[in-house]
Amino acid sequence: MFHKSDTRFADMAVITEQRRRMISSRQNARVVLFWCAIIITIAAVFNASGGHPFVLLGVGATIQWMLVFYFDSEVRMLMVVDRFGHSKPSGDPA
């Protein structure tokens, strides 16, 4: 089910230039999603305190936070791959 997406992601992560562009775009998306999640969460809290049903806002806030954590994990993983690509092998006597 996710094989095509996983393969495309792995292929992009191998190429240094594409990986750096992906890190940059994922970092920007993470910031935007973070602030959207903050706004939706605040709206859900104020809506809940007013006595109105806040199920849709609560679900929306939960989905936003899940996306924030997803993009955060992708950025961290790509940065680790980038660092490993720049580090010397430990067996080099240089």
pLDDT of residue 86: 66
At 37-46, the pLDDT tens digits run 999 999 888 8
At 13-41, the pLDDT tens digits run 777 888 888 889 989 999 999 999 999 99
pLDDT of residue 13: 75
Mean pLDDT of 48-55: 69
Residue 68's CB: how many other CB atoms inside 10 A?
20
At 2-11, the pLDDT tens digits run 788 778 777 7
**Residue in the block written with tokens 């240089």:** 94
Q: At what angle do helices 3-14 and 16-49 cross, to 10 degrees?
A: 130
Look up the pTM and report it: 0.72
